[in-house]
Structure 1
Amino acid sequence: MKVAIISDIHGNDLALEAVLADIDALGIADIVNLGDHVSGPLNAARTADILMARNIPSISGNHDRYLLTLDPTGMGLSDRAAHAELQPRHLEWLATLPATLVYRDAFFLCHGTPASDEAYWLEALTAEGVVHLAARSAIEVLATGIKQPVILCGHTHTPRAIRLADGRLVVNPGSVGCPGYDADSPVAHKVEVGSPDARYAIVESVGNDWSVTFRTVPYQHETMARLAAQRNRLQWAQALATGFLGG
């Protein structure tokens, strides 16, 4: 079994198309999607159309939930920009997506952690806002009760694979469409992956175990950076152009 894992597209339709083309070229039929599909100052509606047409098994991320539950006046800039583009059919599709999903009895999908779409699982923060690998004990606790051998999470946009003590594998594929962001909670911090490429992962069964391959896919990132700049989202533009936030 070979499955492509995508996550955190954030309305970047060109990055999504490049990743899907790469997956198709590799002959991989199974794809799962870990949420945060459309939020951002890019092309939310077209991104949703692509995903809906492919009918990829998908879950909801925290920004998908915000789009469904918050009044637009109370949304952040990225959610508000996406909401303004989306049609009722797009929101109806988002409303059908579960918070977690079991795929082919082997994969457990969540966005952040099994219990929260906002919490970091494989990363932790210092009091000064430095992002680092979480303690193994903390990662293990959050996997309690999950029976599947492969656990998939997104949210932090950071590609990572962690092997638990019992052999289970926890994989974050990284972000298809947003290579850097900052956040204020629980302390101010930023995440940068260091390149503008689209990212995803491939998980494959090998005998009685599983292997992970992380893919970086070049695409027309300059086009998306220009779009973000035109919409006065300069930090987005910097991240899309370079993989760094600057400053």
Structure 2
Amino acid sequence: MKFAVLADIHGNALALQAVLQDMQSQCVSEAVNLGDFFSGPLQARDTADMLMAQDFLSIRGNHDRILIEQPPEEMGLSDRAAFDQLSPQHLQWIKALPATRTVFEEVFLCHGTPSSDTTYWLERVEDTGTVRAAKLAEVLKEAEDISASLILCGHTHIPRVLRLPDGRTILNPGSVGCPAYDDIAPAPHHMQTGTPNASYAIVEKQNGEWITTFRSIPYASDAASAYAVQNGRHDWAHALRTGWFER
């Protein structure tokens, strides 16, 4: 069993295209997608068309949920920018997706944690805004009711893999299209990978063990940054160009 793990594309069609091409070069045709497909000042419509054509096993993330639950006039800038590009058909596709699901009998998909699409699983944010790795006890608490041998999550945009004491693996593939961002919850903080590359992972089960390969793919990030500038989002432009939110 071998497949790609994608997450947090955020409307970056150029990054998604680069990942799809890299998957082809790695002879990987199957993939799962962990949500947050469109939100951002980039190419939501083109991203939607590509994803619907691929028909990957997918779940929706918190920003996808906002697109189908929140009135447009109440959306934040990134969600509204995506909403204005998407067709009713695209939104209906999101509505049909679950928040979590189990695939291949032993692979569990969620966006944040099994119970929340807005909670970080493998990282924690202190009251000061400092981001740290989650402690083992914190990780295990969220995994109590999940029996799958491979647990996949996204949301933080940070590539990580953890092996739990009982042998289960938890994997975050990083973000295909948004390498750095800021947020105000649970405290104001920055998440940043320090590279503009598109990030995803390839997993394969061999001799009963999950093998993870992280892929960091250069692409036309300057062109993606230019889309953000055109849409008045210089914060996104800097993050896309450098992989850092802070200057």
TM-score, normalized by length of structure 2? 0.99
1:7 is displaced (CA, Å) by 0.3
Counterpart residue identity of residue 223, structure 2: T
Alpha-carbon distance between aligned partners in 2 of 1:149 and 1:190, rounded to the nearest angstrom: 31
TM-score, normalized by length of structure 1? 0.99
Number of the residue aligned with 1:215: 215
Number of the residue aligned with 2:141: 141
Alpha-carbon distance between aligned partners in 2 of 1:107 and 1:81, rounded to the nearest angstrom: 33
Within 5 Å, give how 1:69-88 maps onto structure 2.
69-88=69-88
Is 1:127 the counterpart of 2:127 in the alignment? yes
Number of the residue aligned with 1:154: 154
Number of the residue aligned with 1:58: 58
Number of the residue aligned with 1:49: 49
Alpha-carbon distance between aligned partners in 2 of 1:46 and 1:126, rounded to the nearest angstrom: 37
SS at match of 1:21: helix
Q: Percent identity?
A: 50
Alpha-carbon distance between aligned partners in 1 of 2:98 and 2:137, rounded to the nearest angstrom: 27
SS at match of 1:85: coil
Number of the residue aligned with 2:32: 32
SS at match of 1:151: strand
Alpha-carbon distance between aligned partners in 2 of 1:223 and 1:238, rounded to the nearest angstrom: 12
Unaligned runs of 5+ in 2: none
Number of the residue aligned with 1:22: 22
Counterpart residue identity of residue 227, structure 2: L
Task: Report the number of matched residues.
Answer: 247
Root mean square deviation of aligned Cα: 0.7
Counterpart residue identity of residue 119, structure 2: A
Alpha-carbon distance between aligned partners in 2 of 1:83 and 1:210, rounded to the nearest angstrom: 37
**Deviating runs (4+, > 3 A) in structure 1?**
none
Alpha-carbon distance between aligned partners in 1 of 2:176 and 2:81, rounded to the nearest angstrom: 19
Number of the residue aligned with 1:203: 203
Alpha-carbon distance between aligned partners in 2 of 1:122 and 1:37, rounded to the nearest angstrom: 21
Number of the residue aligned with 1:179: 179
SS at match of 2:57: coil
Alpha-carbon distance between aligned partners in 1 of 2:125 and 2:184, rounded to the nearest angstrom: 12
SS at match of 1:65: helix
SS at match of 1:181: strand
Unaligned runs of 5+ in 1: none
1:101 is displaced (CA, Å) by 1.1
SS at match of 2:227: helix
CA offset digits 1:137-156 (Å, max 9, x no partner):
01011111211100000000
Alpha-carbon distance between aligned partners in 1 of 2:130 and 2:163, rounded to the nearest angstrom: 23
Alpha-carbon distance between aligned partners in 2 of 1:148 and 1:30, rounded to the nearest angstrom: 19
